[in-house]
Structure formats: structure tokens, C-alpha cells
């Protein structure tokens, strides 16, 4: 019996961590059985290349590493996580709540490509991770859509560190790429800008309720 995979996605500063926390608490309060999974898993050896990439070992700007190469760094971490941590639970019909998934490659790596190359990249990405690596396809992807200004304001309040978070033009490109991917793959877009976390959470909960 195949499990159910729900993914929360959005650019940095979209409020993804906040919304993930609210959804986790709601499901816990309702007494539902589920597993929480987040990526990248910075404390695991399978994220070694992700950490080197974010630290700037392969170049100090996101564009210094081509999106196909960078996507493989993140994909192997997901593969290791699925195979060693929660694959059995999922294959037994379990509910898994993901803070980022293959969807993050679509946004953060798709951002490095001109618009006309994004479609072929997204098709390659899905075939690579879901087809060739055998990672599960999400049943539902919730994409948190924000204006770039809201994301930048929030990140400034929080303080960012890595090569992605330092580069505002790159963040704007991620927003473009995220919207493109949402349309391409048919993600559910939730408006996560100038609204309270509780209002945004309500939309997310309603969008996943039928598969809980």
C-alpha cells in the first residue's frame, strides 16, 4: 500500500518553517499518525555536497554551479533519507509531511535557468528523482506564494547566512521559478504574503484535509 506525501514549498522567507510547524501541531493535536521529514538534512553525511555547495566551495554565487549538478547533491540526500529513515513507513501506507522535497530543486535550481529552459529542466528533474531514483511523487504540493518584498523583509528580520540567502536577485529568480514550477506541475498555490500565519494555515489545512 502506497503512502501519502504532503510537501510544503516556498522561497526563503515565504514562511515555510512557520507553516510547517503549524501543520505539525494541528496534526499532533488531532492525534493523527504521521512522520515529519525536512530537507536538506544538514546533520547527515548524505548532505556533504549540499553543505559544500552552500558554503561556497564550488563558487561563491549560486550561478557558479550548474542546476543539474547542484540538483544531484540535494537528490542523494533525499534518497538516503527515504531508504534509511521513512521509506518503510511510507510504503506501508503512512502519512509523511515534508518540509521541502524535489520541489526545492525546481525553485532554487530552476532559478538559474532562463525561462525557456525551465520546462525541460523540470521534466528532467521529475524523471531523475521520481523515475530513475525511485523517490515518491508527492500527493500534494502546497506552494507558499509571497511578494518578493515580503520575503526580503522577513529574511532581513531573521538574518540569512548561506550563498542563496545573501543574493536578493537570486531570491527574486527563485520566486519566478517557483511560480513557473507551480503552474508546470499543478501545485496548490497559497497566498502567504500580507496575512496572519493562522489565516495561511487555514488554507493549507483545507487543501490537504482529504488525504490526511
For ligand ADP, the closer CB: 124 or 205: 205
Peptide bond into 40 cis (omega under 30): yes
- Inter-residue contact 166 to 160 (CB < 8 Å): yes
Q: According to the binding rule CB under 6 A, does residue 9 interact with ligand ADP?
A: no
**In the complex, minimum distance from the CB of residue 16 to ligand ADP, in angstroms, rounded to a whole number:** 3
51 binds ligand ADP (CB under 6 A): no
**Among 3, 10, 40, 136, which residue sits at the site for ligand ADP (rule: CB under 6 A)?**
10
Nearer Cβ to ligand ADP, position 159 or 186? 159
Counting contacts by CB under 6 A, is residue 154 touching ligand ADP? yes
Q: Cα(33)–Cα(55) distance, rounded to whole angstroms?
A: 36
- Say how far apart CA 38 and CA 100 lie, in whole Å: 6
Q: How far is the CB of 192 from ligand ADP (least distance, A)?
A: 6
Question: In this structure, what are the phi and psi dihedrals at residue 98, rounded to the nearest 5 degrees?
Answer: -105, 125
Least distance (Å) between residue 38 CB and ligand ADP = 10
Q: Compute the distance between CA of residue 54 and CA of residue 177 in angstroms, rounded to an integer.
A: 19
Give the one residue of 25, 32, 88, 158 binding ligand ADP; rule: CB under 6 A: 158
Which ranges in 82-147 belong to alpha helices (H)?
87-91, 102-108, 115-126
Answer whether 6's CB lies under 8 Å from 97's CB. yes
Binding ligand ADP (rule: CB under 6 A), the pick from 3, 13, 110, 178 is: 13
End-to-end, the C-alpha distance of the chain in Å comes to 15
Phi then psi for residue 85, to 5 deg, are -115, -55
According to the binding rule CB under 6 A, does residue 166 interact with ligand ADP? Answer: no
Should residue 202 be labelled a site residue for ligand ADP when binding is judged by CB under 6 A?
Answer: no
Q: Which range touches ligand ADP (CB under 6 A), out of 16-24, 41-49, 52-60, 114-122?
A: 16-24
- Which residues are near ligand ADP by CB under 6 A? 10, 12-18, 154, 157-158, 195-197, 200
Amino acid at each position: 500500500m502506497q503512502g501519502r506525501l504532503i510537501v510544503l514549498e516556498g522561497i526563503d522567507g515565504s514562511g515555510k518553517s512557520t507553516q510547517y510547524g503549524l501543520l505539525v501541531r494541528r496534526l499532533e493535536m488531532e492525534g493523527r499518525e504521521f512522520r515529519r521529514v525536512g530537507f536538506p538534512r544538514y546533520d547527515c553525511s548524505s548532505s556533504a555536497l549540499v553543505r559544500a555547495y552552500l558554503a561556497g566551495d564550488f563558487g561563491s554565487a549560486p550561478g557558479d554551479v550548474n542546476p543539474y549538478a547542484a540538483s544531484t547533491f540535494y537528490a542523494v540526500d533525499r534518497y538516503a533519507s527515504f531508504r534509511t529513515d521513512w521509506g518503510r513507513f511510507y510504503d506501508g501506507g503512512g502519512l509523511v509531511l515534508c518540509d521541502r522535497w524535489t520541489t526545492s530543486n525546481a525553485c532554487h535550481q530552476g532559478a538559474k535557468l532562463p525561462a525557456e529552459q525551465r520546462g525541460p529542466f523540470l521534466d528532467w528533474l521529475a524523471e531523475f528523482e521520481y523515475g530513475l531514483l525511485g523517490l515518491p511523487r508527492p500527493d500534494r504540493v502546497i506552494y507558499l506564494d509571497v511578494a518578493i518584498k515580503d520575503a526580503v523583509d522577513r529574511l532581513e528580520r531573521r538574518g540569512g547566512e548561506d550563498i542563496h540567502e545573501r543574493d536578493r536577485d537570486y531570491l527574486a529568480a527563485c520566486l519566478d521559478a517557483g511560480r513557473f514550477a507551480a503552474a508546470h506541475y499543478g501545485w496548490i498555490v497559497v497566498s502567504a504574503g500580507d496575512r496572519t500565519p493562522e489565516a495561511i494555515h487555514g488554507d493549507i489545512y483545507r487543501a490537504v484535509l482529504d488525504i490526511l
